[in-house]
Amino acid sequence: MTARYFDLRSTVLVVVGHGILAEENDRPLAYELKQAVNARTRGSEGRVAVVVTDVWLVNQELGEFFPAIAVGGPGVNGLTAEVYDDLPVVYTRDQQVFVQMAAEGKRAALWGMDEAGTREAVDVFVKNGLLERFLDLVWRRTV
């Protein structure tokens, strides 16, 4: 088996929590988001999304340097809990659905107060151009 390497500048981590609720509810959404990212790579080698857990991210020496999108709220996703106080809210609905993303930087958090809210946050991120804005920030140095 050949070793696979992931570029810190162009590999986007889609991060889910490690608990049973996150695995059951958020991981399927994370794989949908991964497909959406991969569909936008424009054939560039090295540009890829990978789904990982928040525990994996914390335990990797270089984890903080990867661009990352957290899926799931701060109660179930350690990355969301780490960044949600600092990331600006770019979309919210009725204090139930949240999309957070820095204007500059490599972090985003997509979450809701329940499973339906998190799904809506992912849908808004993908369908309203926010994913493209995030990827433009991440991939601008490798264009």
Per-residue model confidence (pLDDT) at position 35: 96
Q: What is the pLDDT of residues 28-57, one digit of tens each?
A: 999 999 999 999 987 777 799 999 999 999
Q: Where are the domains of the chain?
A: 11-142
Residue 68 backbone phi and psi in degrees, to 5: -145, 145
Task: Tell me what pLDDT residue 103 has.
Answer: 85
* Close Cβ partners of 28 (under 8 Å, ≥ 6 residues apart): none
Residues 59-76: b if buried by 16+ CB within 10 A, e if exposed: eeeebeebbbbbbbbbeb
For helices 130-139 and 115-127, what crossing angle results, to 10°? 60
pLDDT grade for 143, boundaries at 50, 70 and 90: very low
At residue 66 the predicted structure's pLDDT band, cuts being 50, 70 and 90, is very high
Per-residue pLDDT tens over the stretch 101-137: 988 879 999 999 999 999 999 999 999 999 999 999 9
At residue 100, the 3 state secondary structure works out as strand
- Give the CATH H-level superfamily of domain 11-142: Chitobiase/beta-hexosaminidase domain 2-like (3.30.379.10)
Is beta strand 97-101 parallel, antiparallel or unpaired with respect to 107-112? antiparallel
Rounded Cα distance between 51 and 17, Å, is 11
pLDDT digits (tens, 9 = 90+) for 77-92: 999 999 999 999 999 9
pLDDT at 70 over 80: yes
Mean pLDDT throughout 56-78?
94
pLDDT for residue 9 = 79
pLDDT of residue 5: 67
pLDDT of residue 11: 92
Which residues in 78-93 are b (16+ Cβ under 10 Å) and which e?
bbbbbbbeebeebbee
Say yes or no to pLDDT of 140 above 80: no
